[in-house]
Amino acid sequence: MTLSEYILVLLSIVVGLGMTHLLSGAAEILQRSGDSRPYWVHTAWMFNLFVTIIHFWWWEFRLVKIVTWTFLPYAFVVCFAVLTYLLVAFLMPQPLGAGTDLKEYYYSHRKWFFGTMALIQIMDFGDTMVKGTAYFMSLGPEYLVRNLAVTALCIIAIRTRNEKFHGALAIVLTAYQVVWILRQFNTLM
């Protein structure tokens, strides 16, 4: 087993735990539909995290190409996996208690959820800079604008309970992420 494959195993375990947490939470919500009504904004963010996790898992395959690892890039990818898991944990109550109000749960945990999402954007800048200025520049201005915009939108989401804002944010970020994946990561080579 190469070092990259060994690292991929650790990342896959953490990301797999996130997917398990997300899917088991979704199944529990569906099974308890009489006790706990789904909330559309919460459900939209669940779908966003599903896309995020499968994107991260797909992106991980590129790590096999790295021959020499140093601690800093390793630490960044492990932190990404852990923060992705935490996003799921902050969104999905476990266990889902009888009569859980998912709307209230979502808004009461939004500071942790969006704070973690903003932290991921900031860490992504650090990870990109570790790869060098040439790599950072190769991503173009869209990368910088996207990360700064998502960070700013997360700060707004922390401060507001406006349902239209939260719903639109979930839908727009999910749609943008799907387009980004198809443009940047459609193939692994």
Helix (H), strand (E), coil (C) string for 84-133: HHHHHHHHCCCCCCCCCCHHHHHHHCHHHHHHHHHHHHHHHHHHHHHCCH
In contact, 167 and 41? CB cutoff 8 Å: yes
pLDDT value of position 189: 54
Residue span of the structural domain in which 96 resides: 3-184
- Asked if the model's pLDDT at residue 36 lies above 80, the reply is no
Residue 154, in any domain of the structure: yes
Residue 163, in any domain of the structure: yes
pLDDT bin (cut points 50, 70, 90) of residue 162 is very high
* Alpha-carbon separation of residue 52 from 22, 36, 49, 55, 176 (angstroms): 11, 25, 5, 5, 11
pLDDT, one tens digit per residue, over 106-130 is 999 999 999 999 999 999 988 888 8
- Asked if the model's pLDDT at residue 18 lies above 90, the reply is yes
- Asked if the model's pLDDT at residue 144 lies above 60, the reply is yes
Residue 21, in any domain of the structure: yes
Mean pLDDT across the stretch 64-76? 87
Residue 47, in any domain of the structure: yes
* Alpha-carbon separation of residue 140 from 58, 93, 175 (angstroms): 22, 38, 20
pLDDT value of position 68: 87
Residue 189, in any domain of the structure: no
Percent of the chain with pLDDT over 70: 97
Place of tokens 């507001």: 160
Residue 142 region, left (φ>0) first, then alpha (ψ -120 to 50), else beta? Answer: alpha
- Asked if the model's pLDDT at residue 33 lies above 70, the reply is no
In contact, 85 and 113? CB cutoff 8 Å: no
Helical ranges in the chain per DSSP H: 3-31, 40-60, 71-91, 102-108, 110-130, 133-138, 140-159, 163-184
To the question of pTM greater than 0.85 for the whole model, the response is: yes
Classify residue 81 as exposed, middle or buried by CB count within 10 Å of its CB (0-12, 13-18, 19+): buried
pLDDT value of position 94: 80
Amino acid (one-letter) located at 32: R
Place of tokens 């997300």: 22
Classify residue 113 as exposed, middle or buried by CB count within 10 Å of its CB (0-12, 13-18, 19+): buried
d(CA 114, CA 68): 34
d(CA 95, CA 35): 13
- Asked if the model's pLDDT at residue 35 lies above 80, the reply is no
Q: What's the structural domain count of the chain? A: 1
Mean pLDDT across the stretch 46-75? 89
pLDDT value of position 88: 97
Residue 103, in any domain of the structure: yes
Residue 147, in any domain of the structure: yes
pLDDT value of position 149: 97
Mean pLDDT across the stretch 135-162? 94
Residue 161, in any domain of the structure: yes
Q: At 5, list the tokens.
A: 């494959």
